Structure 1
Amino acid sequence: MDRANGLVAMIEDQINGAVDEDGHVQLVEKVENRDGTVRSGPSPLVTLHQKERQQLVTAARAAIDAGFQAAWDSAVRERQDKIFDLVESVVRGLGHDPGSPEVVAVVTRALAEFAVTTSARSELLAVPADDEDGVSW
């Protein structure tokens, strides 16, 4: 993104340096056709500036989206950890082994039912893969 930003700034400097005899920045280029008519359009620098600026916007949007997604994923993992810590504490408090197949089956089923009834996006309650902590839910 720094490269795109630097290129846009360099092109802007070039555009600001392209002035006519009256000192006005030339944003329009006039070209004489073979038949003697004159057509005008944006100067090549302005066209290049627009294209590079769009690439900068695209890169910035991608960076923002990636940062948001990383923050969202982190929040989801944090919430999952808290939920599973709570469930494990309750299971242990009732005198059960959180790793026993019966407990894992009941907890998994209960969380799946809860996730289905609360939201179409149930990322917060999705059962994560075994993280090798001895508890496989």
Structure 2
Amino acid sequence: MIVLGEDAVDCGISEGALKKLEALVFAGILANKTSPYASVVLPTSAWAEKRGTMINIKGRIQRLNQAIQPPAQARDDWEVLRDLMQAVGGSNGVYSIEEIFKVMASEVPALQGLTISRVGDLGVQLPV
């Protein structure tokens, strides 16, 4: 099981169930009730340490700009997932946040025609 930035126990998975797992990868910024059961713990970047986009509750996509550098070994969630995929023999050929957005824009109709740079500092209202 891979747990990315969440507490599986708080999400309803019992500690007993976590103990029975053959392998548990925990990737996050802080220890929680799940992390002690992890076979591997991978540090990830906090929100101010990464760049990308988010869609707010009103359907406006906004660009996130990295404000500070992450601690030495912390990485973005997408980088952790990409490297895990590559480690088990797969690859999706995605090596930048721009490439991820391009893939999303090709598969999500509301994002078609957008790039991270086109989102700009003020964002873009998506069709709802």
Do Structure 1 and Structure 2 share a fold, with TM-score over 0.5? no
Q: Which has more strand, going by share of residues?
A: 2
Q: Which has more helix, going by share of residues?
A: 1
Q: Which has the larger radius of gyration?
A: 1
Q: Which has the higher contact order (CA 8 A, sep 6+)?
A: 2
